């Protein structure tokens, strides 16, 4: 499909002035100041001066001096000239950055496609010593870098010649980042059929897209295909594939690729080790995590806060929080500063273990080191207080959090509602629910089910059924806890028929 859209270049417009003309006045100390509204011939002179420059420095000097008084929304002659010059000088990054700036400026008053077509047409009107498709490749790269892959694809179709593989890679990557993997494969097929030879970067993009979609089989096939073609996988490609395998819990295969990586002479980096450590941490395999952690240290690869976050997550998961201090010592030695996420993991682990005192010690450290606390920090401690029946303390902490300016959410309110319901303080639970509504937050399914369970436990079936009916009106379905509480409450009150009817509703709703 893409191939059918390819067109020949529009005819180039010849410059108004001879490129070999002298423009010595531009660098002369007696150079006249630029007019406030430069005329078209004057701009053409400047553009030709840029294209005739002997060095990139000279071209940029002319451009920077002249462009201060030129509105890109009115004319793109100077930008087109400097982009062409820089591209022919192989200064692709500078050219791309200039186009990116231009996209931002024009994007304030024009829609993306209009921005794209304006720049494309301006570049296409510049006559240089030879046809240079690289300039349009740079445009494609700039558009994709700014998240405008659709516009990049439009340029690709309008070029008439295939851009360099680097621009093709930028386009494929841009489309992939938009989540349009099927379209990415369509464009890739068009590129290959028109003669593009995939590079290591190309395969890296394709393997990454396959892994992100969970298609590990395809990622593996691409990996083997590039090796068969004589291309050597980079550390990024190896790590991408390893990360994809770990995400699918294919740890043996991930280790096999890791071994091949080492055997081929490619040194694993921090991201490689983090991928393996994270994969084994999710499987609660402490020994493997320790193995790769100490292996990375032995090879001079220093862990970062992500590594330590994974380690502490694992310690919380397996209930070995007493060993966390040894990792804190490592962090200090390696100048890795613990952040809110790491402290949150530790506090959550201590709270789940019923050790609120240790969790509060962590909170004190956060305050001592002036580490930013977030909603999650307060939510963990509130949950910890409620777990041991200290709901009033949880509410005090909640009020303290509101004074910091952090936005409260329904999760925090539901934590308090649940805490008061478990204490049998239904009046207070309803009061918290009312406060929640005053803040513009509507009770959700968790709020309703928690209150229903609370009323059933104290024998107030009428109030519980009132909430049950209100849930139905709002389109919510009770969860298994709410149904169980209602069924149990009706049986205990002697309403067997109503209990059996509720049980039938629960089964018919597929809740078990």
pLDDT tens-digit profile, the chain (512 residues): 444 333 332 333 333 233 343 333 333 333 334 444 455 777 888 888 999 999 999 999 998 988 888 888 788 999 999 999 999 999 999 999 999 999 999 999 999 999 999 999 999 988 765 557 799 999 999 999 999 999 999 999 998 888 999 999 999 999 999 999 999 999 999 999 999 999 999 999 999 999 999 999 999 999 999 999 999 999 999 999 999 999 999 999 999 999 999 999 999 999 999 999 999 999 999 999 999 999 999 999 999 989 998 998 898 888 887 787 778 788 888 888 888 888 998 899 889 888 999 999 999 989 888 888 999 999 999 999 999 999 999 999 999 999 999 999 999 999 999 999 999 999 999 999 999 999 999 999 999 999 999 999 999 999 999 999 999 899 998 999 999 999 999 999 899 999 999 999 999 988 87
* CA pair distance 55, 50, nearest whole angstrom: 10
Which of 277, 274, 272 has its CA nearest to residue 259? 272
What spatial distance separates the first Cα and last Cα of the chain, rounded to whole Å?
A: 50
Domain-located, residue 434:
no
CA 42, chain centre distance (Å) = 46
Looking at the fold, whether 152 and 206 belong to one and the same domain comes out as no
- Pair (120, 39) in one structural domain: yes
Q: Are 473 and 448 in contact (CB under 8 A)?
A: no
Same domain, 21 and 138: yes
**468 and 478 Cβ atoms separated by less than 8 Å:** yes
Residue 281 domain-assigned (yes or no):
no
Q: Please check whether residues 239 and 176 belong to one and the same domain.
A: no
387 in any annotated domain: no
Going from the C-alpha of 267 to that of each of 58, 83, 239, 261, 270, the distances in angstroms are 43, 38, 11, 7, 10
Q: Long-range CB contacts (< 8 A, 24+ apart) of 183-189? A: 184/209, 186/1, 186/2, 187/2, 187/153, 187/156
pLDDT at 133: 79
Confidence (pLDDT) at 42: 74
Same domain, yes or no, for 20 and 82? Answer: yes
- Is residue 390 in some structural domain? no
Instruction: Give the residue numbers spanning the domain of 110.
Output: 1-196
Q: Where are the beta strands (DSSP E) in 247-345?
A: none
Picking from 162, 212, 159, the residue whose alpha carbon sits closest to that of residue 188 is 162
Q: Which residue shows structure tokens 């952690």?
A: 293
Question: What is the sign of the dihedral through the CA atoms of 406, 409, 415 and 417?
Answer: positive
Same domain, 59 and 137: yes
Cα gap 138→99, rounded to integer Å? 8
Rg (CA), the chain: 32
Question: What is the distance between the alpha carbons of residues 306 and 290, in angstroms, rounded to a whole number?
Answer: 15
The last residue of a domain, from among 267, 282, 306: 267
Torsion of CA 128, 132, 134, 137, to 10 degrees: 90
The first and second tokens of residue 127, run together, are 């006559």
Instruction: Indicate if 202 and 190 belong to the same structural domain.
Output: no
Of 154, 181, 196, the residue that ends a domain is 196
Q: Are residues 203 and 192 in the same domain?
A: no
93 and 180 assigned to the same domain: yes
- Count of CB atoms situated within 10 Å of the CB of 21: 11
Sequence-distant (6+) residues with CB within 8 A of 303 are: 270, 273, 293, 296, 297, 330, 334, 336
Nearest to 78 by CA among 112, 45, 54, 107: 45
Is 239 part of a structural domain of the chain?
yes
Which is nearest to 213 in space by CA: 232, 240, 237, 188? 240
Whether 202 and 54 share a structural domain: no
Residues 116 and 190 grouped into a single domain: yes
Give the phi and the psi of residue 128 in degrees, each rounded to 5: -115, 180
Total of domains in the chain: 2
Q: Which helix (H) or strand (E) holds 154?
A: helix 149-158
438-446 LR contacts (CB < 8 Å, sep 24+): 439/408, 441/408, 441/409, 441/410, 441/413, 442/410, 443/410, 444/410, 444/414, 444/476, 445/471, 445/476, 445/477, 445/478, 445/479, 446/410, 446/414
Question: Do both 185 and 215 map to the same domain?
Answer: no
Last residue of a domain, one of 196, 228, 251: 196
Give how far Cα 313 sits from Cα of 272, 307, 431, Å.
Answer: 18, 10, 36
Name the token pair of 252. 């043996």
Two structure tokens written together for 259: 């071994």
**pTM for the predicted model, two decimal places:** 0.75
Number of Cβ within 10 Å of residue 372's Cβ equals 10
Residue 256 lies in a domain: yes
Q: Let me know if residue 495 belongs to a domain.
A: no
């Amino acid at each position: 499909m893409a191939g059918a859209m390819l067109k020949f270049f529009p005819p180039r417009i010849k410059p108004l002035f001879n490129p070999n003309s002298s423009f010595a006045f531009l660098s002369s100390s007696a150079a006249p100041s630029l007019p406030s509204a430069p005329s078209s011939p004057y701009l053409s002179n400047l553009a030709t001066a840029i294209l005739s420059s002997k060095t990139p420095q000279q071209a940029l000097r002319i451009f920077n001096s002249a462009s201060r008084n030129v509105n890109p929304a009115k004319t793109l002659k100077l930008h087109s000239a400097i982009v062409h010059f820089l591209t022919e000088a192989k200064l692709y990054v500078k050219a791309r950055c200039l186009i990116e700036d231009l996209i931002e400026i024009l994007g304030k008053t024009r829609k993306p496609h209009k921005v794209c077509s304006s720049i494309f047409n301006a570049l296409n009107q510049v006559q240089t010593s030879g046809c240079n498709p690289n300039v349009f490749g740079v445009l494609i790269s700039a558009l994709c870098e700014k998240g405008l892959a659709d516009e990049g694809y439009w340029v690709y179709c309008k070029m008439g010649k295939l851009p360099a593989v680097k621009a093709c890679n930028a386009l494929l990557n841009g489309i992939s980042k938009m989540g349009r993997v099927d379209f990415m494969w369509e464009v890739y097929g068009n590129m290959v059929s028109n003669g593009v030879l995939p590079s290591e970067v190309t395969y890296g993009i394709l393997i990454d897209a396959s892994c992100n979609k969970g298609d590990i089989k395809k990622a593996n096939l691409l990996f083997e295909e590039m090796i068969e073609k004589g291309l050597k996988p980079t550390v990024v490609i190896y790590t991408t594939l390893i990360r994809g395998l770990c995400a699918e819990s294919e740890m043996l295969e991930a280790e096999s690729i890791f071994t091949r990586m080492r055997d081929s002479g490619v040194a694993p980096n921090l991201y490689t080790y983090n991928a393996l450590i994270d994969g084994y941490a999710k499987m609660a395999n402490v020994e493997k995590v320790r193995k790769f952690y100490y292996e990375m240290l032995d090879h001079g690869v220093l862990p970062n806060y992500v590594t330590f976050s994974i380690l502490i997550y694992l310690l919380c998961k397996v209930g070995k929080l007493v060993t966390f201090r040894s990792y804190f010592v490592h962090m200090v030695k390696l100048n890795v500063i613990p952040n809110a996420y790491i402290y949150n993991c530790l506090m959550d682990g201590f709270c789940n273990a019923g050790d609120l005192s240790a969790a509060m010690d962590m909170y004190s450290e956060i305050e001592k080191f002036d580490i930013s606390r977030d909603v999650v920090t307060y939510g963990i401690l509130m949950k910890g207080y409620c777990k041991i029946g200290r709901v009033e303390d949880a509410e005090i902490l909640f009020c303290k959090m509101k004074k910091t300016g952090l936005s409260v959410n329904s999760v925090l309110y539901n934590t308090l509602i649940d805490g008061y319901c478990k204490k049998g303080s239904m009046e207070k639970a309803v009061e918290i629910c009312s406060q929640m509504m005053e803040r513009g937050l509507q009770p959700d399914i968790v709020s309703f089910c928690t209150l229903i369970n609370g009323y059933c436990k104290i024998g107030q079936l009428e109030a519980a059924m009132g909430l049950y009916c209100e849930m139905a009106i709002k389109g919510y379905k009770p969860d298994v806890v709410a149904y169980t509480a209602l069924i149990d409450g009706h049986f205990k009150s002697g309403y067997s028929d109503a209990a059996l009817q509720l049980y039938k509703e629960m089964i018919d709703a597929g809740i078990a």
